[in-house]
Chains A and B, each alone.
Chain A
Amino acid sequence: MTATEVSPDPRPTRPSPLRRLLPGPPGAAGARGSTLLRHLVLAVLAGTAVVLLTNQLAPYQNLQVARVCAFLCVTAGYTVLVGLNGQLSLGHGALMATGAYTVALMQQGFDERAVQGRWILPLSLLLAVVVTAAAGLVIGLAAARLRGPYLAGVTLAVATLVPAITTIFTDVFNGEQGLRFPMETPPAFLGAYFQPERWLAWVALLAALLTMLLMANLVRSRFGRSLRAVRDDEVAARLAGIHVARNQVLAFVVSAACAGLGGGVYAVLTATVAPGKFSLDLSLFLLMAIVIGGLGSLAGAVWGAILLVALQDLPSLITETFTLPSGLAQRLEGNLALAVFGLILIVVMLAAPGGLHGAARALTARLRARRRAARR
């Protein structure tokens, strides 16, 4: 995922003498079309690799791949908002819930009317994106007027309070129990014995690749540059002709749409939604994921999504490996992951604010410098 790196390679490729005469955009490898092409090729390669991988994996592992892909949709948009635009939202768990509930209601509605077809799932997911983007627009309009801790406080309130809506409108959302809808099945042409988990992993992968492709191009675009400009200095950005408020609202809408898609896919994976799945903790997990991955780089979002799933499965792995007294195991269940998340969040913030991706980049840069020094 090197294409998503924000800073260009420190060693510029040597342009041809003729090319040097022409003025080129600084930092860009070429025209914008080639960036898109590069990202497309990378996306296809990554997609092929994962599809081949899913062939080798057991059902549960395929479900893990699918979960990583679902979270990747969310973290990619989230890191654009927090890392690139500098707006800290804690309400992305609630936005995921919006997408998930939209998908659940759609799927349930189609099932009750006995409507069938392969177009139902894409339509539900599309609607999830639209509804969540609308919700993001509402929050974003408020957010664009707020700064730092105020924005964090409002979005924290959203994350804490939105699950309560499901109990207010019990007849629609079925309260604490949540909604169930029929599981997504693989299409018939793949054969009768096609692993359903593998199909789910493909669906999630497609969503994740689409999100990553769009975000990677957005980061490199004019809009991406204005996002960073607003983050770094609002006044300077305004002087440079950027409409700051519009820029911030748009960033919120984009990241909300990603969260809605991720939430929708997440719901499809388990064929259920319940308010308990979208508690405040989820929002904090997402924050942890992008902080650990490295704020502001899409590669960091990939790391974050992988870590999120890996760490969520850590407690059950431990309780399976070691035989613990049942009381202790019950207390460790869930809490251990929380503790590790919290500790990592603090340590990363104090020791390596660039996150995993930043640390890896610093390491490779140092190794490269050493190799170059040795060559001389």
Chain B
Amino acid sequence: MPSAWGLSAGLFAATLLGWAVWRVFGGFPHAKRPGLVLAARELAFLAAAADATYPEGGSDLPSGTQAGIPAYADRYVAAVPRSVGILMRLLFFLVEHATLVFSAPGRGGRRRFSSLSPEQQGAVLEGWRTSSLFPRRLVFSSLRAILTMGFFSDPVVLRALHLGAKQIDSPIVEADLLYPAIGAHPRTIAYEREDLVARSGVPLAADAPLHPDHAEQMQ
């Protein structure tokens, strides 16, 4: 029979463990749409990091979540090899939970990143960015790159900055008589030798420079 002291200690330890597990894994908002690979808690972290970096208002640009950064990151993680995806998810986990150990500045700083105030989130990210420790800066650079690529994947952002992709017609070249689209069979190649110039309407020697103000192609 366990002693009363042992029972109390066991109950205390179990309570502590439960509290710690809840602090790490519990209380995240449900994702509006399930991710391809990321869990709701990871999407919640990405949404917080996205809006801390690109908040709503202040310019014509959308916020990080309006620009679809969490969904972009989800697609990106789904596209990379599994081993790389695991590392990226560990990165999200690390930044989200580091403030449970290393408190963010200000009142209530020992909370998950996504639960901090926008000012605290900015201060935490700045701490990662300017750290004297190279691995911390590397973590920040990786996160920042994912957030920024996601932000600039939004046509609204590109249009606002006049940086959208140009509309370019691909001329037909000899290689188009040889290669089908990836995954397709060569019998799907639609081009014949007489198409080398005609079909696209773009001459083979399309040597006229593309003007910067060429009509932008938006999704």
Q: Do A and B bind each other?
A: no
Residues of B participating in the A interface, judged by any CB pair closer than 8 Å: none
